[in-house]
Amino acid sequence: MRTVPMGGEAVDVSGKACLCRVDFNVPIKDGVIVDDTRIRASLPTIRCLMEGGAKVVLISHLGRPKGKVVESLRMDPVAGRLSELLGVHVKKLDDCIGEEVEEAVRSMKPKDVLLLENVRFYPEEELNDREFAKKLAAPFDIFVNDAFGTAHRAHASTVGVAQFLPAYPGCLMKRELEALEKLLRSPEHPYVAVIGGAKVSDKLGVLENLLDKVDSLLIGGGMANTFLMAQGYDLGKSLCENDKKEDALRVMKKAQELDKQLLLPVDVVVAERPEPGVPVKVVRPDEIPEHMMVLDIGPETRREFSRVILQARTVFWNGPMGVFEVEQFSGGTLEIAAAIAQVEGFTVVGGGDSLAAVEMAGCADKISHLSTGGGASLEFLEGKELPGVKCLRGTR
């Protein structure tokens, strides 16, 4: 008997058909994978199952086909790249349920790897339809969920199949949960959270929950505009959620009551539009021209944010400081990435844009944990129970 560790248990997978939910939702352009980070993140779990002698069958979504077959969202490029990374041929099927799948699984040998078609080609997936989940589970002995990025969704391939199969967390799922648990339960202090991105509404819950735990909260990106607006500044043509003024005021009041440091930009980079080559200015929040918009944090803010970050023993970062895809507005985001990389402590970076930024800054290898689950990470840090985690053994 060959066992592999799963969720704190030693599980015998030898010769067993294992359905493994992975997150292969990778960017593809003209049939070519642009960034294979999520595929590489799944390799430890796949290799562990292979070494245990399992028949490894992988299932994932790709893009948003909305319950219909979309040719450009088929999993074929993923199968090709996965074959290269594993050094074995990964066969790919054109469906994820039915007789073809059942026959293919029956004919597999231990250590074989098979990739099923995009599960979101079926509308029943996102509806967590019980009968669809039963069909997904039918050919298998064990279910392993390694797709932390979808753990906040109660879908058929993340939650439904766990009603019919023994369900365990994969290596990536376990690593994500351990890193985020550390941020919530046992962070070393000083603890700094750096929150950016476009909207306050997307991150309001995590801001309020983190204030109970962090020493300093640094807010940048488009969401900082809403806080500046709430303080009475005129933001010109900047992205701003006017209906979130009271929420921003409540967060600032809570920080004051808890005696927590909440830092907003003291200077900003502005331009008429977020395009390469446009003239830019650095101004104070009370000097923003009415025909311009805030597109990055300014140099003084970068220095102050970096100073606070460098004193930390724990840092969580989610969301860029500006429109970093455009070189003229990338300075703030890249400086924050560089500062976090220098922290002598535990650092977690989450969210697709933030991960892209640390890659762009060339310092991804200096971050303690790169979280692949943007929305799932935020909901976990909000204190919410994730349905795709709750149904797994050894995670409760």
Q: Which domains does the chain have, with CATH numbers?
A: 3-169 (3.40.50.1260), 177-381 (3.40.50.1260)
Write out pLDDT tens, residues 30-63: 999 988 988 999 999 999 999 999 999 999 999 9
Give yes or no for residue 337 having a pLDDT over 70: yes
Question: What are the structure tokens assigned to 72, written together?
Answer: 């450009």
Pairing of strands 293-297, 268-271: antiparallel
pLDDT of residue 201: 85
Q: Using the predicted structure, report yes or no on whether residue 174 has a pLDDT greater than 60.
A: yes
Q: What is the mean pLDDT of residues 136-152?
A: 96
Q: Are the C-beta atoms of 75 and 116 separated by less than 8 Å?
A: yes
3-state SS class at 18:
strand
> What is the Cα–Cα distance from 206 to 260, expressed in whole angstroms?
15
**Cα 233 off chain centre by:** 32
Task: Tell me if 349 sits within 8 A of 370, measured CB to CB.
Answer: yes
Per DSSP, the three-state class of 191 is: strand
* Assigned token pair, 203: 């991150």
Q: What is the pLDDT of residue 1?
A: 56
Active site residues: 38, 199, 352, 375
3-state secondary structure of 256: helix
Q: Residue 160 carries which side chain, given as an amino acid letter?
A: G
Nearest Cα to Cα of residue 19 among 175, 134, 177: 134
What is the CA 326 to chain-centroid distance, rounded? Answer: 22
Q: 246: burial class by Cβ within 10 Å (0-12, 13-18, 19+)?
A: exposed
Q: Which of 155, 84, 135, 152 is nearest to 113 (CA)?
A: 84
Q: Is 294 left (phi over 0), alpha (psi -120 to 50) or beta?
A: beta
What is the C-alpha end-to-end distance of the chain, expressed in Å? 27
Nearest to 386 by CA among 152, 189, 228, 86: 152
Instruction: Report the percent of the chain where pLDDT is more than 90.
Output: 85
Cβ-proximal residues to 159 (8 Å cutoff; 6+ apart), any chain: 128, 133, 153, 387, 388, 391
* Residue pLDDT, tens place only, 296-324: 999 999 999 999 999 999 999 999 999 99
Per-residue confidence band for 330, with pLDDT thresholds at 50, 70 and 90? very high
In angstroms, the Cα distances linking 73 to 14, 101, 218, 375, 389 are 33, 19, 38, 22, 26
Partner residues linked to 145 by β-bridges: 21, 169
Please report the pLDDT score of residue 353 as a whole number.
85
Per-residue pLDDT averaged across 69-87, rounded? 97
Q: Which amino acid is at 65?
A: P
pTM across the whole model: 0.90
∠ CA 19-47-154, nearest 5°, is: 35
The Cα–Cα gap between 326 and 51 comes to 44
- Counted residue by residue, the chain has a size of 396
Output the pLDDT for position 372: 83
Helix 171-185 to helix 374-381 angle (10° resolution) is 40
Computed on alpha carbons and rounded to an integer, the radius of gyration of the chain in Å comes to: 23
pLDDT for the residue numbered 8 = 73
Query: In the predicted model, is pLDDT for residue 396 greater than 70?
Result: no
Contact 335/297 with Cβ under 8 angstroms? Answer: no
Taking every pair of C-alpha atoms in the chain, what is the biggest distance, in angstroms?
Answer: 71
